[in-house]
Amino acid sequence: MPKLDDSVMYLKGVGPKRAELFKKLGIETVRDLLYHLPRHYFDFTAPVSIAETLLEEQNVVEAEVIKKERPAMIRRGMTIYRVLVTDGSDDMTVVIFNSQYQFESLEVGGSYIFCGKVTGTLTRREMSSPLIQPAAAERIQPVYPLTAGLTQNILRNCLKNALLAFKPEEVEILPADIIKKTGLLPEAEALRLIHFPNKREDAAPARRRLAFDELLTLRLGMAQMRERNRRSTSYSMKTPDMSGFTGALPFELTGAQKRAIAECAADMEKGSPMNRLILGDVGSGKTAVAAACCYIAAKNGAQSVLMAPTEILAAQHFESLKGFLEPSGVRIGLLVGSMTKKQKEKLVAAASGGELDVIVGTHALFQAGAEYQKLGLVITDEQHRFGVEQRAALAKKGSDPHRLVMSATPIPRTLALMIYGELEISVLDELPAGRKKIETYAVTGKLRSRACAYVRKEIDSGGQAYIVCPAVEEGAADLKNVTDYAKELGRGEFSGYRIGVLHGQLPPAKKEAVMKQFKDGELDILVCTTVVEVGVDVPNASVMMVENADRFGLSQLHQLRGRVGRGERNSCCILITDNVSEESRKRLKILSSTSSGFEISEADLEMRGPGDFFGSAQHGLPPLRIADLAADTEIVALAQTTADSLCDTGRITLPGCAALRGRVEKLFEAASD
Ligand code: ADP
Ligand code: MG
């Protein structure tokens, strides 16, 4: 019997050949196999009678084979096998394509479970290519992710053997008192039940335990990163008199901004690097907070770098910071990939020579060979595009600079604690005074021409408009795509208006040019994809129309509409969708009823619409295989308090937590692959 960390090759029924196949699934050891979890289960526990089966739906039926018909070859390489079955309520034809093996394994008079889609009519039912199990087999069967050459049966058998390969204490990573206190299953029990639940309800507590492990290790790993960041920095910065900064601003800072700036200033005074997230709603004024930090750094003789995910955003941040900071003598430069070699060289020289205090840019900031001699502050405009590892790598540039992260989307605090676990958090939960509410309407395509009339009226009175579509080139027929749609509008509703097109596949220089035209008022309408989602600022744009609005996540729509309502004009956002399902209506209603991004992300989290980032890889965390940050809120909270108490008491460093520490290391190893 192999041990946990032995190769799966030594498991009964595996061997070197199959071990190669397992490797394709990322399974090398017996332990890996144990954590290869079922994607879902076939549930054969609740068969219905044939008479009760629903047409055009998946049904589970338990029936007896009464007749096997002669195989029919319908063409070369395609044989159809028909089997007549009954359960007393009615009979049904089971159709099997090509699988002679499956056909032959059925015995007349034998009882089987058939699971598949039922078609035909109420009097002549058919089930094609069903899953077939002997009636006596286990009624709940795990279904695993597979690779060619492996079958569900092979995996199930190997797992049965793997579950015999260890003693419970060998897989346990939690101290006994924590298991007791949290009411979680022991690890060994959880593993057994996740693979082979006796009844449907068994899988839930098993999943709960394994999800808890994952979130706990994640949180502990983040805490570890945070601890590592608590080194000393040579950039302990005295907070200067801030009136030079505030006096040059065209507005009064909000209370939340003042609070966030004070928190940053306190961090930067300490002898260890700041690691702070500014978590704020769209339009809450994160840039001004970032500018204040640059001001503090500059007054302490240190350089700051602000990194944005796109050139458009970088250029815009550059403009904003210039406005905020140049009046007080802070020197600013812009460095992006599309600049000429000469321009870059000039900027790099200025940065290296200490002639610039703040350098704004994209990834190019760290590629152009710039040496920032006195790099004291690194700011990233996050947009969920930089992963944990990248964030850590950025922090290694320079000699432990302070770090500030600006969040893209407001998210609930518990979630922020998980996703940005290695950072302290300042929340900007207040919008600048005098912000006008963006009126939001959801309408069907029938009202499109009225919406267009409204948009024309807005433009005629001096405003500008965004028209947002989900796809770029001709995708699914029912989706408006930017290029065609712009042409269509130019010929129809908006003939005579100046229309620009913006999407992610344009070359950067072209994007810049279009954006600049729109900003300078040379375009009336920007037909675009979500490229504009990320913080573009054109105060004169006062109306936005979103096509196929149901294709976007709620948080994404909130981001999008944040592009209007930035200036003096009353603004509105028209969401167009022909999806009138209850679900879709409910989602869009939330947007018209609240303007709080935090509330919207909470709802997004509950409802899980399309494009939501909670379920995807967008949050930049190590891959979560079991836990679901959105659905498992209770486990997330439990894992958080458990992890925090282990850290605060120092217990995590004791021998009793060695297994847990090992798991934490493994999680982050996997993330950096
Ligand atoms: P976000 O938090 O979405 O990045 P920005 O930093 O882009 O928001 O700010 C949005 C707009 O609000 C900008 O035009 C900015 O100049 C303005 N702004 C920021 N702070 C204030 C304030 N305290 N009062 C009025 N306007 C402000
Ligand atoms: Mg912003």
- What is the rounded CA–CA span in Å between residue 272 and residue 265? 13
* SS3 category, 43: strand
- What is the rounded CA–CA span in Å between residue 554 and residue 211? 26
Q: Which two tokens stand for residue 167?
A: 């003693």
Q: Would you report the helix, strand and coil content of the chain in percent, each value rounded to 5? A: 45, 20, 40
- What is the rounded CA–CA span in Å between residue 401 and residue 526? 39
Q: What percent of the chain has pLDDT over 70?
A: 91
What is the average pLDDT score of the chain? 87
pLDDT for residue 473 is more than 70: no
Higher pLDDT, 532 or 475: 532
Is the shortest distance between the CB of 253 and ligand 1 below 6 Å? Answer: yes
Closest CA to 231 of 396, 382, 426, 387: 396
- The protein residue whose alpha carbon is closest to atom 19 in ligand 1 is 285
pLDDT for residue 617 is more than 60: no
Place of tokens 């703040």: 358
CB atoms within 10 A of CB 620: 18
**How far, in Å, from the CA of 283 to the mean position of ligand 1?**
5
Is the shortest distance between the CB of 97 and ligand 1 below 6 Å? Answer: no
* SS3 category, 181: helix
Average pLDDT rounded to a whole number, residues 260-280: 93
Whether residue 317 contacts residue 333, with contact meaning beta carbons closer than 8 Å, is answered with no
**How far, in Å, from the CA of 196 to the mean position of ligand 2?**
49
Q: For residue 654, what are the contacts with CB-CB under 8 A and spacing of at least 6?
A: none
Locate the ligand 1 atom nearest the alpha carbon of residue 562 and give its number. 3
- What is the rounded CA–CA span in Å between residue 267 and residue 257? 15
Higher pLDDT, 103 or 223: 103
- What is the rounded CA–CA span in Å between residue 61 and residue 88? 12
Average pLDDT rounded to a whole number, residues 190-204: 90
Q: For residue 554, what are the contacts with CB-CB under 8 A and spacing of at least 6?
A: 587, 590, 591, 600, 601, 603, 604, 607, 609, 612
So what's the pLDDT on residue 673?
Answer: 47
So what's the pLDDT on residue 620?
Answer: 60
CB atoms within 10 A of CB 297: 27
* SS3 category, 589: helix
Higher pLDDT, 198 or 518: 518
| pLDDT interval class at 471 (50, 70, 90) | low
Q: How far is CA 208 from the centre of its chain?
A: 21
- In this predicted model, what pLDDT tens digit does every residue of 295-304 receive, in sequence order? 999 999 999 9
Locate the ligand 1 atom nearest the alpha carbon of residue 323 and give its number. 16
Largest CA distance in the chain: 93
- In this predicted model, what pLDDT tens digit does every residue of 130-159 receive, in sequence order? 988 888 777 788 889 988 888 888 999 999
pLDDT for residue 368 is more than 60: no
pLDDT for residue 29 is more than 80: yes
So what's the pLDDT on residue 475?
Answer: 53
Q: Collect residues with CB below 5 Å from ion ligand 2.
A: 535
CB atoms within 10 A of CB 459: 18
Is the shortest distance between the CB of 288 and ligand 1 below 6 Å? Answer: yes
**How far, in Å, from the CA of 495 to the mean position of ligand 2?**
33
Strands 40-43 and 140-143 come out as antiparallel
| pLDDT interval class at 616 (50, 70, 90) | very low
Best residue for ligand 1 mutational test, from 282, 287, 519 (most atoms within 8 Å of Cβ) = 287
Higher pLDDT, 383 or 272: 272
- In this predicted model, what pLDDT tens digit does every residue of 204-240 receive, in sequence order? 999 999 999 999 998 998 888 777 767 766 688 999 9
| pLDDT interval class at 572 (50, 70, 90) | very high
Of these ranges, 46-60, 273-287, 294-308, 337-351, the one predicted with the greatest mean pLDDT is 294-308
Is the shortest distance between the CB of 432 and ligand 1 below 6 Å? Answer: yes
Locate the ligand 1 atom nearest the alpha carbon of residue 280 and give its number. 2
Locate the ligand 1 atom nearest the alpha carbon of residue 434 and give its number. 25
**How far, in Å, from the CA of 31 to the mean position of ligand 2?**
45
Higher pLDDT, 100 or 631: 100
| pLDDT interval class at 63 (50, 70, 90) | very high
Is the shortest distance between the CB of 284 and ligand 1 below 6 Å? Answer: yes
Whether residue 182 contacts residue 212, with contact meaning beta carbons closer than 8 Å, is answered with yes
- In this predicted model, what pLDDT tens digit does every residue of 385-403 receive, in sequence order? 556 566 566 556 556 789 8
Q: What's at 274, amino acid-wise?
A: M
Strands 275-280 and 402-406 come out as parallel
**How far, in Å, from the CA of 343 to the mean position of ligand 1?**
30
pLDDT for residue 624 is more than 80: no
- What is the rounded CA–CA span in Å between residue 158 and residue 146? 13
Q: What's the pTM value of the predicted model, to 2 decimals?
A: 0.73
| pLDDT interval class at 428 (50, 70, 90) | very high
Q: What's at 236, amino acid-wise?
A: S
- The protein residue whose alpha carbon is closest to atom 4 in ligand 1 is 286
- What is the rounded CA–CA span in Å between residue 414 and residue 407? 15
pLDDT for residue 59 is more than 60: yes
- The protein residue whose alpha carbon is closest to atom 1 in ligand 1 is 283
Domains delineated in the chain: 8-41+141-166 (no CATH), 46-138 (2.40.50.140), 243-428 (3.40.50.300), 438-594 (3.40.50.300)
Strands 332-335 and 358-361 come out as parallel
Closest CA to 39 of 503, 651, 625, 661: 625
Average pLDDT rounded to a whole number, residues 406-417: 80
So what's the pLDDT on residue 398?
Answer: 59
- What is the rounded CA–CA span in Å between residue 160 and residue 321? 62
pLDDT for residue 610 is more than 60: no
